[in-house]
Amino acid sequence: MNREKNGKAKRHKKDNFQSVEVKGKYMETTKAIHLRRSIRRYLPDPVDRELIKEILEDAMWAPSGVNLQPWYYVVLTSEEDMNLLKGIMAEMAGRLTPELEERFRKNPDVVKHTTGFLQTLGDAPACALVFYQTPQEPEKVTMVMSLGASAQNFCLSAADKGLGTCMIGPNFSPETMENMRQIFAPDKGPLGCLITLGYPKITPKAPRRKDGRWVIR
């Protein structure tokens, strides 16, 4: 928005900018970044819709290539929808099991935990399905990164409010992905990822961060 000499805002015909107001009632960003964990076991307590709206609003404020905002969130909160989703996930996890058993022959616990979480979604009371707006978007790396940035905003905002999340996928079969799109967002692009949402029952220890992943020159 341009400002005229007398200080009054002058609106362009096509004004793409807006002022931002943030209420500072939550924890610091750095704390949220470090304390956020992927949660795989949830309490049954529902998540307040107003809180979900706040989290979604934060997800909308992620950066995106040419500000395209290529995401579309569908947040499931009803038992009916969650059971429908878990049914699809359980079917997919069943198909995935032989491949995982082969890959983790020496470590069967990994298979048990991975498929267990996919089947039950850790009993999360809610789950966000993050779709692309159009079918072509996931072909562009910029758009994949943009959706990831928004998903991370979602997770950090939830952590800020004492809620747990876990990003999942989207390495499901094309049939599973299309099935979810048809059911939950038939007029949108493909599924980008799932994000479980709820109050943590178990918060795992932070997985170790690898050394040697950055340099300052």
Site string for ligand FMN, 16-45 (x = CB under 6 A): ---------------------xx-x-----
Which residue, among 127, 126, 99, 128, has the nearest Cα to 114 in the 3D structure? 99
Residues of span 73-112 touching ligand FMN by CB under 6 A: none
Q: For ligand FMN, which is the closer residue by CB, 47 or 193? A: 193
Closest among 51, 67, 182 to 129, alpha carbons compared: 182
46-76 burial: b if 16+ Cβ within 10 Å, else e: ebeeeebebbbebbeebebbeeebbbbbbbb
Please report which residue ranges of the chain form alpha helices under DSSP H.
29-35, 49-60, 79-103, 108-120, 141-160, 174-184
For ligand FMN, which is the closer residue by CB, 82 or 168? 168
- Helices 108-120 + 79-103 axis angle, to 10: 160
Among 147, 166, 177, 195, interactor with ligand FMN by CB under 6 A = 166
Task: Identify which of residues 75 and 194 has a Cβ nearer to ligand FMN in the complex.
Answer: 194
Candidates 56-64, 91-99, 134-142, 166-174; binding stretch for ligand FMN (CB under 6 A): 166-174
Nearer to ligand FMN, 52 or 195 (CB): 195
> How long a stretch of residues is the chain?
217
Token pair belonging to 121: 């979604």
Among 117, 154, 172, 184, binds ligand FMN (CB under 6 A): 117
- Structure tokens, 198: 């709820």
Residue 120 binds to ligand FMN (criterion: CB under 6 A): no
Query: Is residue 168 near ligand FMN by the rule CB under 6 A?
Result: yes
Closer to ligand FMN by CB, 2 or 107: give it: 107
Distance of CA 17 to the CA centre of its chain: 26
Binding site for ligand FMN (CB under 6 A): 37-38, 40, 117, 166-169, 193, 206-207
